[in-house]
Structure 1
Amino acid sequence: MSLSSQSNQLPESEKSVSTEKRILPDKHTSLRLQIWETPLMRPDSSVLDAFAWEEVMCRRVGAGHLPVAHIWRHPDAFVAGLRDRRLPRAVEAMERIRGEGTAVCVRPSGGAAVPLNPGVVNVSLILPNPGHAINIHDDFREMASIIAESLIPWTTQAETGEVQGAFCPGDYDVSVGGLKFCGIAQRRQAKAYIITAFIIVEDQGDRLASEVRRFYEEASGGVAKGYPEVKLGTMASLQELAGVPSSAAYTASLVRTLRRRYPYAEIERVLSVGTDEVLLTAEQMKLRYD
């Protein structure tokens, strides 16, 4: 199986003159879609279970299963990127976080370190790709458009473009007033792919940024370069930016947006991640990436 992972950081040759722009709704599509919402995961659950479930579903979508939207949250986790894991003291930094009672994993998709809590909504689109086509711009624009449309009850000011100093940086950061609340990444298999995003709905952006900055200070050993230089004053929650009252309120708007965007979407289902195939995949991912 051919696998690849990409963040929303595009190659120089693919960047437009100005990546920052107001997000406009895309055309509706006739694609059938299943919407799955995982209840808030247990505090003692492995955050890898959610990524493993998506990996399993990506294989199934590649084999003909209906495309999937997956919405989930974890009460307390720290998700590192593949490049983060290669920092000289990454293992020690992750062990320190685990020792504080936070679940830790290295995710298979692109992107860099992100802290998760009940105020951070994760959403993934799992779509078929039988022709092996790659159009990174279209994929990220589609996800950014869905996220922005879901925010319309509170604001229409969402934009894309890298926010310098924000964690998990990329050309398709989604921001309001220059402050980032969302990052997008991608994971590809042979016949299907996953576009995934984190959306900070509640909490304080500076508090989360401080967590990520501390991780990089420790993981780099004070020597290594090539990791995001996280600065305060670059991240914010939708609660801070637009008065979104709760993760539940934004999630409900997100589901409504998906149903409008995909008129043939099936009623959302409640997911149980504890199947044997998912648990086996999670263990394989842990061995491969952690």
Structure 2
Amino acid sequence: MVSYENGGLLDKLFEGQERRTASTLPAKMVLFEHPAEELTAAEAEDMLIPFAFEEALCRDIGAGLVPPCLHIWSHPGGVALGLRDSRLPHAAAAMAGLEQAGYAAAVRHSGGAAVPLDTGIVNVSLILPKAPGKLDFHDDFRLLASLIAEAAAASHPQAAAQIRAGEIAGSYCPGDFDMAIGGRKFCGIAQRRQSGAYFVHAFVVVSGSGRERGELIRGFYQTASGGDASLDYPRVRPETIAALGELGGPDAAAVYAAGIRQAAERRGVQLTPAASLRQETGYDLQYSDPRVLETAAMLRQRYAR
């Protein structure tokens, strides 16, 4: 493993939290990239494909078939729900309403609650083998949070210096590792673990309107809950959400994705493009792979969509 720590940036990012050891990444990682504009029509239509891809990739990493991976992707438009969201009394009607409005809707298997997906949101996943005895998931959240901040610093250091980690009340999918500038959230982090590997996933809002995305998710909950205030679901206040571009940071998905690659390389990570891995070892996992499609179907059946 290699370690890198931008002390000033990380001290501010985790201000008020317990100081821990430097975050680490594997010295070598495979880079998979799936920007929305490069997807086929079938891949763009099925919102579960990226999640199924990571599920299959995670199994292969756990089996030792492929090194640790970095996956950067986006989706044309949709809403990924948490399992708890799907259990709200009128969730099916709310999901149907999203789809009628042109948004794909599906239940994801990683933790968290409803989040939007669109071309202005960059999704970043670290997919890593599980170390023996490794139990503290907070370290993994901190690792990805620090990488997210360093990626913003690659092009907009002044904005990145203002990023703080901590729950933003009123945001969609709130959590301890929300990332915000000036109290407005632009990123949330979730995790999924298998027996031999796991992935940590960040939804980074880069461009567009944070408020509009917040209104979209608030509308879903208003319908899904039927207005029952006794139910447990996030009370979204759209003004708590923003895009990095609205906060003085990078305002283009391609710029931010480049920042992620640069941040990993600054930590000393050797990134091998997936195409190079295919040429060197024959390992070839695509969105169109039958295993990925089967996994997507399994996830849809298991989570009722």
Judging by fraction of residues, say which structure has more helix: 2
* Residue 90 of structure 1: how far off its partner (Å): 0.5
Question: Any stretches of 5+ residues in structure 2 without a counterpart?
Answer: 1-13, 277-284
Q: Does 1:247 align with 2:247?
A: no
What secondary structure is seen at the aligned counterpart in 2 of 1:182?
A: strand
Cα distance between partner residues in 2 of 1:108 and 1:29: 24
Give TM-score scaled by structure 1 length: 0.88
Aligned AA for 1:178?
G
How many correspondences in the alignment?
A: 272
Aligned partner of 2:233 in structure 1 is 227
Which range moved further: 56-65 or 37-46?
37-46
Q: Does 1:256 align with 2:262?
A: yes
Cα distance between partner residues in 1 of 2:168 and 2:55: 29
* Residue 267 of structure 1: how far off its partner (Å): 3.2
Q: 1:193 aligns with which of 179, 192, 198?
A: 198
* Residue 148 of structure 1: how far off its partner (Å): 0.3
- The one of the two structures with greater contact order (alpha-carbon pairs below 8 A, sep at least 6) is 1
Aligned AA for 1:284?
M
Q: Does 1:91 align with 2:87?
A: no
Aligned pairs for 1:97-136 within 5 A: 97-136=98-137
Aligned AA for 2:115?
V
Aligned partner of 1:280 in structure 2 is 294
What secondary structure is seen at the aligned counterpart in 2 of 1:101?
A: coil
Aligned pairs for 1:1-290 within 5 A: 21=16, 26=22, 29-40=25-36, 41-42=39-40, 44-64=44-64, 65-152=66-153, 153-154=155-156, 155=159, 156-223=161-228, 224-267=230-273, 269=275, 272-290=286-304
Identity %: 42
Question: Any stretches of 5+ residues in structure 1 without a counterpart?
Answer: 1-18
1:107-130 per-residue CA deviation (whole Å, 9 max, x = no partner) reads: 000011011110000011111014
1:23-65 per-residue CA deviation (whole Å, 9 max, x = no partner) reads: 9994554532111101313564201000000000000010012
Which segments of structure 1 move beyond 6 Å, counting only runs of 4 or more? 22-25
What secondary structure is seen at the aligned counterpart in 1 of 2:45?
A: coil
CA gap of 1:232–1:262, structure 2 versus 1, over 3 A, is: same
